[in-house]
Amino acid sequence: MTPEETIRRALEAAASTVEVRPDALAAIRARTRRRRGRGWIPWGAGLAVATAAAVTILVLPDAPHPDPPRPGAPTTTAAATPTPAAGPLLAVYYVGPSRDDALVREFHRVAPGSDAVRSALALMFGTAPLDPDYASAWPAGTTVRGVTVAGEVVTVDLGGATPPSAIAAQQLVWTVTAASGLPGVRIGDGDVLRRAPAVDTLAPVWLINPQEGEVVRGGRVDVHVAGFGSTARLEVTPGARGQDLTLRGGSPAQREAQLTLSLPPGTYTLTVTVDGVSDDHTVVVE
């Protein structure tokens, strides 16, 4: 391996562990609106681009500060109704529709306090993907008997089951490393596995957000695209709306584009294409 290849793999190993949540753009915009006090203004009544930028770090909004009471005014405290805390979103990898050896990703919410690795594996093995075009590379009925962590390696006991293919092994590795933040995965008493190079493992294009079947209120649809090309084509149907996107970032990580569409109420299919390979999701705008 040449020095350049060694550096490339090291950079990819660091970059590929960053799992950008599908609601990252909305969270960042919420914080920006509080700081600047500016409203969002669409460019047009149909397809409008409010933002086109690559985002690699999620910044969660600060908690809002209540206004202080006026001097001399009596203060009252209303009985607060506790709101159940939302559980975390976990990245789960599946095999995508483009070709048999390419992974795609969905985010699934789990209950608060859930074990991240066990929950992600339970979703991967036992829950159908949101997108009907996605599938698991593992046979139905595969179960997890145990998960242990030693150092930087997560060991998954599948009761003697072994990966039916190389991409099945990588599906498990990418899911477990995303949930644990650790670089190594062992299946049973096999060798320690690590993420294969992203460009060789992931689908050429992902439509990260909106996810399949998502319901969006207010007419603003945040779109997040990732791929290995320099440009992507976004089509919105019905309405024959379309535009070219510039994907920013670079090798070894996926390039990305984020933007906001202004759409009237209805059901839409968003299709993004890179180098002839497409990913599409249906979204309901209310």
In the numeric block, the tokens 């299709």 are attached to 271
Task: Check: CB of residue 55 under 8 Å from CB of residue 24.
Answer: yes
pLDDT values of the chain reduced to their tens digit, one per residue, 286 residues: 444 433 433 444 444 445 655 554 454 445 444 444 444 333 333 444 433 333 333 333 333 333 333 334 444 445 555 656 778 999 999 999 765 689 999 999 999 999 999 999 999 999 999 999 999 999 999 999 999 999 999 999 999 899 999 999 999 999 999 999 999 999 999 999 999 999 999 999 999 999 999 999 999 999 999 999 999 999 999 987 899 999 999 767 899 999 999 999 999 999 999 999 999 999 999 9
The DSSP bridge partners found for residue 230 are none
Q: What CATH fold (topology level) applies to the domain 3-58+204-285?
A: Immunoglobulin-like (2.60.40)
Task: Check: CB of residue 148 under 8 Å from CB of residue 136.
Answer: no
Task: Check: CB of residue 15 under 8 Å from CB of residue 253.
Answer: yes
In angstroms, the CA 225 to CA 168 distance is 24
pLDDT (tens digit, 9 = 90+) per residue, 94-127?
999 765 689 999 999 999 999 999 999 999 999 9
How would you classify residue 128: left for phi > 0, otherwise alpha for psi between -120 and 50, otherwise beta?
Answer: beta
Residues with Cβ within 8 Å of residue 137, at least 6 apart in sequence: 94, 95, 163, 164, 165, 167, 168, 171
> What's at 276, amino acid-wise?
G
DSSP E strands in 170-286: the ranges are: 184-187, 192-193, 205-209, 214-216, 220-227, 231-237, 241-246, 255-262, 266-274, 277-285
Delimiting residues of CATH 2.60.40.10 domain(s) in the chain:
3-58+204-285
The predicted model scores a pTM of 0.73
